[in-house]
């Protein structure tokens, strides 16, 4: 063999070796990545040719796959519409799955979850077409409807929980969006809807109940400050606190005033009355006495800082790590840099109502097969203990006073004892405050805990206060469940 032929053979051998190595690498190491690329049309067609599981509320589908006569074979539809848009999320052949259960429970809905292995094996043996499982949710449609109606055209969120188990009874975020607009098979229409939703000023695709930019909690945080005080053993409901009209913050020339500008009970109050009337100066003073570590630790016991998946991820709520003395006063009333989700605030109310036990929120009650046989059932899980039973009882009594004769009277329900706390959170110079309310009922044996936030005061604008704007919404959500 002469040199030219030898070199040509060597080059060809190298090319074959490279081809063999490249194909082996793609087949064994990159196959999954390539298969999962959003633009992989073969994968999309294979996925859409399989019936996806339904999402059910009280036995009715709020998301389901419908047979269609096109190349995809199935189209996702959302009979629940915008009212359930942040719960279902969307499933789009252009933009994939996102926004809610369509994304976070995708493996269950497609039937690809590892725990469904034996079910898939059974389908293979019986030659049955593979399909996803159905998800039965914990949502109570009466609570969801009341929350939806209560928020109306206002931006904000409502979360309701069963304090005993952590089951999510309602989760509403406004503004909302209709996932049907993203699930169609007309690419131009879907693209147009996607662009409109992403450019909308109200950011309707953000689920404000569990994520987004988070909110300052305002005075609903005073329940956590009160819990820290009671848990320290140095304070009781009757402990005397100063309640002047203004509290000079140390190291500054800034005064912390009470809402309305007056003193609290003539300048001297007790802890119970301070919560009932939501006295800023009394709680600001108390925060400086307790210190940042005590408030931060108490918040942690209520769930702050925890990464939760229910199964959608919940952005952790937070209390700043570095706080000086004047900032301790502001933190104690839920201002400065304290940030929360409505889900976290609902968890605080639920833990107080559940004798101090903090339950993990969950949204999927059961998974069901195609014939609706139960495959799996969620078992309630205790996350921890926020306060002891005695402290929870004292906090419950104090929160009942808020609704009976304090800042939360608009949450009253005839014949039912309600415990609650209002909050009016400042969040910028010249901006209207966020209006908060959290509550649970019946107070001595609660079956529902609820948190409501209305952004920028809602329709009340600068006149907004938590007890005026958000308490009636919380009342209607609780009433829908316990006194329909």
What is the torsion angle, in degrees rounded to the nearest 10, for the CA atoms of residue 232, residue 237, residue 239 and residue 245? 110
Distance of CA 190 to the CA centre of its chain: 27
Return the H-helix or E-strand segment holding 368.
Answer: strand 364-368
Residue 360 to residue 309: CA distance in whole angstroms: 9
- Taking residue 18's Cβ as centre, other Cβ atoms within 10 Å add up to 10
- Do 151 and 174 meet the contact criterion of CB atoms below 8 Å apart? yes
- 3-state helix/strand/coil string of 192-229: HHHHHHHHCCCCCCCCCCCCCCCECCHHHHHHHHHHHH
Distance between CA 49 and CA 52 in Å, rounded? 9
Return phi, psi of residue 174, to 5°.
-120, 140
Whether the CB-CB separation of 123 and 132 falls below 8 Å is answered with no
Do residues 261 and 279 make contact, with C-beta atoms less than 8 angstroms apart? no
Helix axis angle, 222-232 to 342-353, nearest 10°: 40
How many angstroms separate the Cα of 114 from the Cα of each of 40, 64, 108, 298? Answer: 23, 22, 9, 38
CA atoms of 327 and 337, how far apart (whole Å): 9
**Which are the catalytic amino acids?**
219
Residue with tokens 């009470």, as numbered in its chain: 258
CB 299 within 8 A of CB 316: no
Q: Concatenated DSSP letters for 278-297?
A: T-HHHHHHHHHHH-HHHHHH
């Amino acid at each position: 063999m002469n040199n030219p032929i030898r070199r040509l053979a060597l080059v060809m051998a190298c090319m074959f070796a490279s081809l063999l190595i490249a194909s082996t690498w793609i087949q064994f190491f990159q196959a999954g990545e390539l298969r999962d690329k959003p633009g992989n049309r073969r994968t999309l067609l294979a996925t859409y040719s399989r019936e996806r599981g339904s999402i059910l509320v009280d036995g009715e589908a709020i998301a389901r796959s419908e047979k269609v006569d096109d190349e995809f074979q199935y189209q996702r539809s959302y009979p629940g519409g915008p009212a359930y848009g942040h719960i279902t999320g969307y499933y789009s052949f252009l933009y994939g799955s996102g926004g809610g259960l369509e994304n976070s429970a995708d493996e269950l809905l497609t039937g690809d979850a590892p725990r469904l292995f034996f079910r898939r094996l059974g389908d293979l043996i019986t030659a049955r077409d593979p399909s996803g499982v159905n998800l039965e949710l914990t949502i109570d449609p009466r609570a969801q409807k009341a929350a939806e109606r209560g928020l109306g055209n206002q931006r904000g969120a409502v979360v309701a929980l069963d304090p005993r188990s952590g089951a999510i009874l309602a989760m509403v975020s406004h503004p909302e969006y209709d996932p049907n607009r993203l699930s169609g098979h007309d690419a131009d229409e879907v693209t147009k809807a996607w662009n409109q939703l992403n450019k909308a000023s109200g950011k309707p695709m953000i689920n404000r109940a569990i994520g987004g930019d988070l909110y300052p909690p305002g005075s609903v945080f005073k329940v956590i400050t009160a819990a820290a005080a009671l848990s320290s053993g140095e304070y009781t409901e009757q402990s005397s606190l100063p309640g002047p009209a203004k509290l000079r913050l140390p190291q500054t020339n800034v005064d912390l005033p009470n809402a309305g500008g007056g003193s609290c009970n003539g300048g001297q109050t007790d802890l119970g009355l301070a919560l009932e009337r939501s006295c800023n100066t009394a709680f600001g003073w108390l925060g400086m006495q307790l210190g940042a570590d005590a408030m931060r630790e108490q918040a942690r016991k209520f769930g702050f800082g925890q990464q939760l998946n229910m199964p959608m991820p919940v952005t952790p709520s937070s209390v700043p790590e570095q706080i000086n003395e004047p900032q301790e006063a502001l933190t104690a009333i839920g201002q400065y840099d304290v940030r929360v989700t409505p889900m976290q605030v609902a968890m605080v109310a639920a833990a107080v109502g559940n004798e101090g036990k903090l339950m993990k929120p969950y949204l999927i009650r059961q998974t069901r097969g195609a014939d609706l046989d139960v495959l799996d059932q969620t078992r309630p899980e205790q996350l921890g203990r926020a306060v002891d039973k005695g402290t929870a009882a004292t906090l419950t009594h104090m929160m009942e006073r808020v609704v009976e004769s304090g800042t939360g009277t608009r949450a009253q329900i005839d014949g039912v004892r309600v415990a609650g706390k209002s909050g009016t959170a400042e969040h910028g110079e010249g901006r209207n405050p966020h209006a908060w309310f959290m509550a649970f009922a019946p107070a001595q044996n609660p079956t529902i805990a609820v948190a409501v936030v209305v952004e920028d005061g809602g329709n009340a604008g600068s006149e907004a206060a938590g007890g005026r704007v958000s308490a009636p919404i919380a009342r209607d959500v609780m009433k829908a469940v316990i006194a329909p």
